[in-house]
Structure 1
């Protein structure tokens, strides 16, 4: 009569909770799973950042085109980096852009050193066939549209259409504005995860690209 309670008490001791070794095994498994999942999650977050930042660049160029056609005057979009923070300005061509600068992706909560901004422009609306994208420039680079929404070029002709000088200004690749994930510890350098906007023709047509298309 007295043996049954003892067996029951012993059984409860054996089945209650985890042993120290079992807890360590569970913690180890959780750590391994976290280590496997973390790079994938970080890659997802970075892709979301560059995709949304690139969408903002597209929207800025389209807004400048709309305003140029609506107001019948030249409109510009300028890009620069200030203290490792990409900035963008949309403004009428002949106005000082100082009061128009805003942080690229300010509504996305981007922090300094997360995203790097670059272009292949050598001057306003100008690049060369050999110009690669340069990142984190503190000197503004600018794309300007004329009152028709086309690229506003200094060389104009009323009789023979586009001149060879005009055609050469945008090079073979077009005017490229790129955003990329910044390298850890090197906020002015781009990783291979890139997105870009390309103004491919003098008429102002815009396309998007990614990774090697943005070089």
Structure 2
């Protein structure tokens, strides 16, 4: 008797590995999609807080804007009177085109996809309360991955919400 595996044994192992990979692939895709959304959403929160901190530090109105037409989306933090300089929301290059999309919900869409923080770090315009930036996977098949950042109060409190709280 010779040592080793027969062709049938190797074929069975390869077939079982293929079946397990086919079962695990959708779960892995959902996990990576959720992680991307969380990373971009955290960056959105960080950008909004950066604008608020700059407004307090410089004692001037600072605006944060989001360009949802770009893929991947872009943002700008700048003096309210200055021209925006756009940067990509890509979390150190991990988010490529076609992976996530942003949606802006503004009860009074006069702010052009952004909010202004005054010298105290408060929202400059009371109409910007409930300004919301929603991040979701571009394919939109995993609705549980949806997350958002809302400007909750006039004092500039921004919070992260997920799923149904983003509607």
- Which of 152, 155, 160 aligns to 1:200? It is 152
Task: Check conservation: 1:88, 1:103, Cα contact below 8 A.
Answer: yes
- Note the C-alpha offset of 1:93: 0.4
What root-mean-square deviation, in Å, do the aligned CA atoms of Structure 1 and Structure 2 show?
A: 1.7
- Which of 55, 75, 85 aligns to 2:62? It is 75
Residue equivalent to 2:104: 119
Residue equivalent to 1:89: 76
Residue 123 (structure 2) pairs with residue 151 (structure 1): yes
Residue equivalent to 2:23: 36
Q: How big is each residue's C-alpha offset from its partner over 1:136-192, in whole Å with a ceiling of 9 and x where there is no partner? A: xxxx51111111111112xxxxxxxxxxxx4xx246xx1111111111xxxxx6741
Residue equivalent to 2:95: 110
5+ residue gaps in structure 1? 1-10, 125-139, 154-165, 184-188
- CA distance in 1 between counterparts of 2:30 and 2:40 reads 15
Q: How many residue pairs end up in the alignment?
A: 164
Residue equivalent to 1:175: 131
Residue 165 (structure 2) pairs with residue 209 (structure 1): no
5+ residue gaps in structure 2? none
- Bigger CA drift: 57-66 or 38-47? 38-47
- CA distance in 1 between counterparts of 2:110 and 2:166 reads 18
Q: How big is each residue's C-alpha offset from its partner over 1:181-210, in whole Å with a ceiling of 9 and x where there is no partner? A: 111xxxxx6741211111111111111101
Task: Check conservation: 1:60, 1:77, Cα contact below 8 A.
Answer: yes
Residue equivalent to 2:50: 63
Task: Check conservation: 1:116, 1:190, Cα contact below 8 A.
Answer: no
Give the ranges of 4+ consecutive aligned residues of structure 1 lying more than 6 Å apart after TM superposition: none
Higher RCO, 1 or 2 (CA under 8 Å, sep at least 6)? 2
Report the TM-score, using the length of structure 2 for normalisation: 0.90
Residue equivalent to 1:127: none
Task: Check conservation: 1:120, 1:176, Cα contact below 8 A.
Answer: yes
Report the TM-score, using the length of structure 1 for normalisation: 0.71
